[in-house]
Amino acid sequence: MNMKDKKPPRLFVIFLPVSVLLVLILILLYNFGTTSKQTAKSVVEDDLKIEVEEFSSRICEELDFMTRMGMSYRDLMSIMTIKNPSDTLRMIGTLCNNSNAYMVVYCDNEGIGVTQSGIKVNVAKDKFLSSNKKEQYYAYIQKEKIMQAEAVVSVIPVVKNEKIDGYILMYYSVSRIRKLFQQDMINENSFLLFSVDEGIVITTEGLEEKFTEGTSLIKFLKDTDSNVDIKSVQAAMERQNSTSTFLKMNGKSKYVIYTPIGINDWYIAIGYEESLYNLKLTSEWGIMKNLITYLLILIFVFVIGMIAITLIMNIIYLRHNKNLQKEVDMDLLTGLYNKIATEREIKKYMEENPKTGAIMFIFDIDDFKGINDSMGHVIGDKVLKSIGRYMREVFQENSVVGRVGGDEFIIFIFRVESEQDLNEEVQKVNNIFKEFTEIVDIEAPISASIGAAVYPIEANSFEELYKVADSALYKAKKNGKNQLVQNRDNRG
């Protein structure tokens, strides 16, 4: 065989692997491009979904905050002697002024009562009171009889001796939901549908056509677009999950996201212009197309460098993510856990230790508003910072310490397994907070009121344990402040 015969095999041997490698790279890039486009679509849809869920959560949080205030007042009324609904006027007036309710009613179990303004009413006509429900529940009224307004009512039974003695009724205006939507929605062409029990739509915003009262969300979708995937929407609503569809309305396509409110089977649906959806998709995908071009260059020229950069970026990301999580969990003023992190860590302990004891202390600074008013917010912040620094030093292990309100803190101490442990921790906390002036280093007497509750003896969930400790805190304040109260034996 001569030299001419040998050259082709050599060229073939050299170019075949390179060609195969190039083909594989092109296939990989093509697959990556296809996957990236699908990822871009998911990112856009997730962003819009998060926006809708945040709006849904805001409504739920407003109703929940209003209800929790009402339940606090319910707890007070449960230990009061109420001969006549008018005896509660001052309390329900305060409750109305400090909540999102436009009207608060206290009535007996027959529905006879008064509003916060002293107007005598009979709410039995609205037919939402149920003698069989001793726990709080929500009801929708298309037109309540008092203010003639459309409302969501938080019905809070006042139970005494295991019997319903009366009701606190907190009325939340449906029109407020529309106002919140107008404030929160960035895209001016979006629309809102809000459905309650059995999917009946009670309010809309941003729809061009007139909406028929009493129409269900599913019927609206069927009537608007016969091609919409009704079954997938129904299945998601039955499971109380979020979902999305494209909807044809007046010749225009809308991208509609459906998400539960978190109350009963109530839902909101928010529709966006398809043009907005496509604009976001184009923007997201455009970034990824550039990335593919850069990857093509880097794969052929800087393979080893790319691996090194990827490893470095991964390390940086992990470190950044870890630091970011710490920042998210931290109350910036005090350096303690914030409210969400405090609750999460306590619940985590409860899940992992259902039978191992612990104790929760809730305390706040006595007359803190007076400190802010008389000395200024700078001094008030100094007080909070000093307390936070001191708490971090004292409670370093086997505990969760967080700031959960303006001047309200929680200390949750792990593994309190005997009466001796319990007494030691109570005494320890009681002694620590006897003289706040030494802690905060300002020339003014500072004291704290403390409420304590034992897990799992007094309650086995965060919410219930918080209520018990909060009740003890209330007693501490009522008894003259500057003391620690424990519900189970009223020790001070």
Q: Tokens 């991208």 — which residue?
A: 255
Q: 100: closest CA among 73, 66, 69, 72?
A: 66
For 228-293, the DSSP string reads S-HHHHHHHHHTT--EEEEEEETTEEEEEEEEE-SSTT-EEEEEEEHHHHHHHHHHHHHHHHHHHH
Amino acid identity for residue 401 in this structure: V
What integer pLDDT is reported at residue 82 of this predicted model? 75
Residue 481, classed as helix, strand or coil, is: coil
302, HSE (Cβ side, Cα atoms, 13 Å)? 11
Q: Which two tokens stand for residue 210?
A: 């007139």
What integer pLDDT is reported at residue 381 of this predicted model? 86
How far apart are alpha carbons 85 and 93 in whole angstroms?
13
Q: Tokens 């019905």 — which residue?
A: 155
What integer pLDDT is reported at residue 259 of this predicted model? 92
What integer pLDDT is reported at residue 14 of this predicted model? 53
What integer pLDDT is reported at residue 5 of this predicted model? 42
Helix (H) or strand (E) holding 204: strand 201-205
Q: Tokens 């962003």 — which residue?
A: 47
Rg (CA), the chain: 31
Residue 485, classed as helix, strand or coil, is: strand
Q: Tokens 């839902």 — which residue?
A: 267
Mean pLDDT of successive 10-residue stretches along the chain, which has 492 residues: 43 59 73 75 86 89 92 87 80 91 92 92 89 90 84 92 91 89 73 86 80 83 88 90 89 89 88 84 73 71 54 65 73 89 93 92 87 83 86 84 91 90 86 65 77 92 94 91 77 40
**Beta strands per DSSP E along 298-447:** 358-365, 399-403, 408-413
Q: Which CATH number fits domain 39-282: 3.40.50.2000, 3.40.190.10, 1.20.1090.10, 3.30.450.20?
A: 3.30.450.20
How far apart are alpha carbons 190 and 202 in whole angstroms?
18
Peptide bond preceding 9 in cis form (omega within 30 of 0) = no
pLDDT digits (tens, 9 = 90+) for 1-22: 344 444 444 445 555 666 677 7
pLDDT digits (tens, 9 = 90+) for 206-232: 887 777 777 888 888 888 888 888 899
pLDDT digits (tens, 9 = 90+) for 230-261: 899 989 988 989 999 999 888 888 899 999 98
How far apart are alpha carbons 381 and 83 in whole angstroms?
44
For the domain spanning 339-486, the CATH number is 3.30.70.270
How far apart are alpha carbons 34 and 32 in whole angstroms?
5
Our measurement of the distance from residue 356's CA atom to the centroid of its chain's CA atoms, rounded to an integer in Å, reads 28
What integer pLDDT is reported at residue 45 of this predicted model? 85
What integer pLDDT is reported at residue 72 of this predicted model? 92
Exposed, middle or buried, 53 (CB in 10 Å: 0-12/13-18/19+)?
A: middle
CATH 3.30.70.270 boundaries in the chain: 339-486
How far apart are alpha carbons 26 and 446 in whole angstroms?
71
Q: 449: closest CA among 391, 364, 386, 368?
A: 364
CA end-to-end distance (rounded Å), the chain: 107
The interaxial angle of helices 230-238 and 217-224, nearest 10 deg, is: 170
CATH 3.30.450.20 boundaries in the chain: 39-282
Q: 456: closest CA among 369, 359, 375?
A: 359
Q: 192: closest CA among 254, 252, 263?
A: 254
Exposed, middle or buried, 6 (CB in 10 Å: 0-12/13-18/19+)?
A: exposed
How far apart are alpha carbons 22 and 334 in whole angstroms?
57
What integer pLDDT is reported at residue 302 of this predicted model? 53
